[in-house]
Structure 1
Amino acid sequence: MTQSLPTLHPQRWQSVADLANHWCDTDVLPCLAAATGTTSEISGCFHTGRFHEHTEATHNADPIFLIASITKPVVATAALLLIERGQLTLADRVTDYIPEFGRNSKHGVELRHLLTHTSGLPDMLPDNQELRQAHASLERFVERTCEEPLAFPPGRGVLYQSMGFAVLGEIIARVSSKSCAQFIQEELFQPIGMQDSALGAPDEWYEGQSANMLRVTPCVVPESQASGTEWNWNSRYWRQLGAPWGGMLTTAKDLSLFAQFLLRRGITRSGERLLSPAAIDAATRNQLQSMRDVADEERRCRPWGLGWRLNWPAHSANFGDLLGPRTFGHWGATGTVLWIDPDAEIFALILTTLPQEPSGKYLSRLSNTIAAAWQ
């Protein structure tokens, strides 16, 4: 018996839009874009709210969001391309590509540790704010990471680490002889058809009245960034830096195309095989399971793939409560989430500009209503 494709219940999807509209109309959220679909169709996509101060959402423009840490699995996907081509392996040591990384007893860190948050590197550097105030380059962030000690020996714990992806971006650059941003643009975004996406806004986004920057939605910045107009999430510096740990700009439509590419197991809309099923399977299975020195609770209850957070049992944050056991995705500190359920053959994404950590209060609630709209 052939399994029928999932369908979106119109009234239930309308309830998703109604809830989002209510939150924006009552100023609970400034703005929101959401999309859901299957391998072949974006079944629902809308945006609502004020994307610029005192300006209501216009329905003829697709707003661009800073998606923060959803950037990480995109960069991980770029690394998988190089692994497929025989240019990297997960067992390679970081020092094979960045010799200076070995300071302070970091010689044992492998690429797999960067991709699974088991390296022992910090999430943010102790002088993160000072670096941003000085408009530090990505190279400077990597230099500083090379100087830092580890919180624990690699592979013996789990600590969410943005700086691991700073290092991974530098490895991609050194191996490919292109910047990480350029590699991702040419090898992922262009073949997938993501026309309004960039890891760091290029200069041309700022030029002319039709420039893409006019469509970028400003974020509600946390208190720690309130005085940093020259370096916070809304500054030109940060939007152009292209941080591999959180600097991607994109639209709901473009991110939907990326999700569909993964649901199709590495095939683009045009039919091009860009990534192998083997690579996607490796990226989306529990990589902690085979790390015997990682605590059992982490391996069973908070699993990670390669750049992807898997569905954590008894944990509602961001993903909600109604997703299948093989669901994978990621969230972003600016108030964003993307999840993909390969068993149900559906994806969903919610993009806002309101930080919601640690619980993802509105993300998880809307995620539940989206999951319940499929039948």
Structure 2
Amino acid sequence: MWAHVAEAFERNFTEYGEPGAAFAAYHRGELVVDLWGGTAGRDTIHLMFSGTKGLTAACVLLLVQRGQLTLDDPLSRYWPEFGAQGKESVTVAEVLSHQARLPGVEAGYAELLDHDAMAAHLAAQAPDAHAGFVYHPISWGWLLDELVRRVDGRPVGRFFAEEFAAPLELEVWIGLPDALHHRVATMVAPEGVLVEGPNPLWVPGAEKIWNSTEYRSAGLAAVGGYATARGMAKFYASLLDPDGILTPRTVELGRREIRRGREMRYGAGFELQTGDGRMGDDADAFGHAGAGGSRHGAWPGRETSFSYLMTEVRNAPDDRPVNLLRALSRGSRATGR
């Protein structure tokens, strides 16, 4: 019943010019798809950009589950300096759902890999009165990493490693250990994909940053996660497990819609299904996509989780993940769920 997925994976190479990728899926707690090809081997680790946000969201939700913070609390309750410039009422839920009105850093990105410096810049910055519900590609991570540090004492990368990756035996990291850098795929961008703009990680020449040892080690909580597809699919499978680290009630809280826009719909850090079907065809899908095409998430009603990682970034619309999730959907429907 999962043969359609392997066929779609092969077509991505033969018909869509895929140079290297991996795809994995769990169904009812069992690994049912584990594919890799081209420049990606079985143990290749990939940068997943904003796929990282789902991991950081889980860390925040675990603190909620433990009673250490509340989503409706102002962020400044835990991080007093953040209340400057009229931000004292911005809640944790608003930050998680990209409503902090801090989509960029006015001070610039020269200190991109220095968490303390970037968090301090954001704390001192006035919110953009015109931003509204605007995706926060990188700043989201500094805000929530600082929240985790203030509440728990550990940076989000260490928190995830100790609370999720170790007990679940996940090949997933926010900030890659030095000993694993040799397993990382070199990320590439075809001509014309990267453009001049406010995002320093999506401008011509940014591949030098992505593929640097400094970036791999930095542990950016929004865009600095690394994983195998197998590891990410297992992570989302754990969120469907009634005996998982996050309880069903906590996962439901994370999936509960906080805000929706024309092209975005968010719960507590998780990207929810939208009209473009970027998470497949399941209405209850949740997870997070990554820049360039990667997809990571779960279909609760079908007890299925998935992860697609690739070495070449492309702009949307991108048929590669669409083809794979469509084929996976056929397999999950064939099980009767």
After the TM superposition, which residues 133-144 of structure 1 pair with which residues of structure 2 at under 5 Å, given as runs?
136-144=113-121
After the TM superposition, which residues 86-125 of structure 1 pair with which residues of structure 2 at under 5 Å, given as runs?
86-122=67-103, 124-125=104-105
Give, in whole Å, the separation in 1 of the partners of 2:70 and 2:328: 37
Gaps of 5+ in 1: 1-7, 52-56, 206-211, 268-273, 289-297
* Counterpart residue identity of residue 34, structure 2: C
Q: CA shift at 1:327, angstroms?
A: 1.0
Report what 1:235 is aligned to: 212
Report what 2:181 is aligned to: 213
Q: Is the 8 A contact 1:334 1:353 kept in 2?
A: no
Over 4 Å off, 4+ runs: 126-129, 223-226
Among 25, 30, 34, the residue aligned to 1:41: 30
Report what 2:317 is aligned to: 359
* Counterpart residue identity of residue 278, structure 1: R
* Counterpart residue identity of residue 273, structure 2: N
Among 315, 325, 342, the residue aligned to 2:300: 342
Q: Is the 8 A contact 1:265 1:280 kept in 2?
A: no
Cα gap change, 1:40 to 1:79, in 2 (>3 Å): same
Q: Is the 8 A contact 2:187 2:211 kept in 1?
A: yes
RMSD: 2.3
Report what 2:5 is aligned to: 13
Report what 1:186 is aligned to: 162
Report what 2:247 is aligned to: 276
Q: Is the 8 A contact 1:266 1:280 kept in 2?
A: no
Give, in whole Å, the separation in 1 of the partners of 2:330 and 2:108: 40
Cα gap change, 1:228 to 1:41, in 2 (>3 Å): closer
* Counterpart residue identity of residue 161, structure 2: Q
Which has the larger Rg?
1
Deviation digits for residues 137-175 of structure 1, max 9, x if unmatched?
11111112123222238xx93111131331111110121
* Counterpart residue identity of residue 21, structure 2: L
Q: Is the 8 A contact 2:233 2:297 kept in 1?
A: no
Report what 1:368 is aligned to: 326
Report what 1:131 is aligned to: 111
Cα gap change, 1:266 to 1:66, in 2 (>3 Å): farther
Report what 2:234 is aligned to: 257
Identity of aligned residues (%): 25
Report what 2:272 is aligned to: 310
Q: CA shift at 1:201, angstroms?
A: 1.4
Give, in whole Å, the separation in 2 of the partners of 1:73 and 1:239: 18
Q: CA shift at 1:225, angstroms?
A: 4.6
Q: Is the 8 A contact 1:16 1:370 kept in 2?
A: no
Give, in whole Å, the separation in 1 of the partners of 2:263 and 2:172: 33
Q: CA shift at 1:21, angstroms?
A: 3.3
TM-score, scaled to structure 1: 0.79
* Counterpart residue identity of residue 163, structure 2: E
Cα gap change, 1:167 to 1:355, in 2 (>3 Å): same
Q: CA shift at 1:361, angstroms?
A: 3.6
Report what 1:319 is aligned to: 279
